Amino acid sequence: MKWSVVLLAIFGFSECLHRIPLYKGKSAREALKEKGLLEEFMKNHPYNPSIKFNPALAKITNEPLTNDYDLDYYGIISIGTPPQFFKVIFDTGSSNLWVPSIYCKSIACANHTKFNPAQSSTFRSTSQDISIEYGTGAMSGILGYDTVTIGSIVDTNQMFGLSEDEPGSTFYYAEFDGILGLAYPSISASDATPVFDNMMNKGLITQDLFSFYLSRNSETGSIVTFGGIDPAYYTGNIQWIPVTSEDYWQITVQTIKINGKVVACESGCAAIVDTGTSALVGDPSSINNIMSLVGIHMDQNGQYSVNCNNIGSMPDVTFVINGAEFPLPASAYITQTSFDCTSGFDPTGDDGWILGDVFIREWYTIFDRANNMVGLAKAV
How far is residue 159's CA from residue 145's CA, in Å, rounded to a whole number? 4
What contacts 265, CB < 8 A, 6 or more positions away?
253, 254, 255, 256, 286, 353
299 noted as active-site residue: no
Q: How far apart are the first and last CA of the chain?
A: 33
272 neighbors 355 (Cβ within 8 angstroms): yes
d(CA 183, CA 367): 9
274 is known as an active-site residue: yes
Q: How far apart are CA 71 and CA 232, in angstroms?
A: 24
Backbone region of residue 302 per phi and psi (left: phi > 0; alpha: psi in -120 to 50; beta: other values) = left
Residue type, 161: G
Give the burial string for 108-146 (b: 16+ CB within 10 Å, else e).
bbebbbbbebeebebbeeeeeebebebbbbbbbbbbbbb
The single residue of 68, 70, 72, 91 carrying the catalytic annotation is: 91
Strand-pair partners of 296: none
Provide the 10 A C-beta neighbour count for residue 175: 18
Q: Which of 274, 316, 357, 368 is catalytic?
A: 274
What's the CA gap between 2 and 81, in Å, rounded? 35
Which residues are tagged catalytic? 91, 274
